[in-house]
Structure 1
């Protein structure tokens, strides 16, 4: 995917494990579509803090998750953290001036109907923050 992105954008696209993100105030936005849903629940808050630090003030963030109530595996044997809205919102912690979750019905690779959560957030600029 990174190779295709590099070719399409004409700039290098890097592959970096979430736990190695260390680039303070670097990015205007982060698009995490259907990827953070594979991060173990115990690690998600740290990963989200790393992403938040990497965003510039007022930077935009999007992520999508398969919704549920407890981590587990799908019918194809793939791990998901399956958050609900309250747990997910708490995982984001402080430092956001906007944090919205939207629930939506969709599907997955297993072909089954799947509830999804979409998170839209903006990094606080220091003057305002929601808790």
Structure 2
């Protein structure tokens, strides 16, 4: 299942399509969970959560949140936050910022707000 889910993710990304991407990330995470590949699981589950948040369907978000809790006994928001935190700690903030901006760029208004706030934040952090 992990192979087919990751192939589906690659194909969706090559088409720049979000169609069923949340499901593909979920299944890749579930397969990684069964194989005890916890870092990969967290990566796939966090990506699933980000894709759901970008789509913004509250019914779908609630359904996935219930599935994470019921099937894996995991708090998906905690997994996503820890995943992002680990990325920052590994000195890859620009990679995570880039991925986050790509997700948000699908929603122009949110992208516009984030882009300007990020530039202001980075401007204040420069020496």
With normalisation by structure 1, the TM-score equals: 0.32
TM-score for both structures, normalised by structure 2:
0.33
RCO higher in 1 or 2 (8 Å CA, sep ≥ 6)?
Answer: 1
Task: Indicate the structure with greater helix content.
Answer: 2
Q: Which has the higher strand share?
A: 1
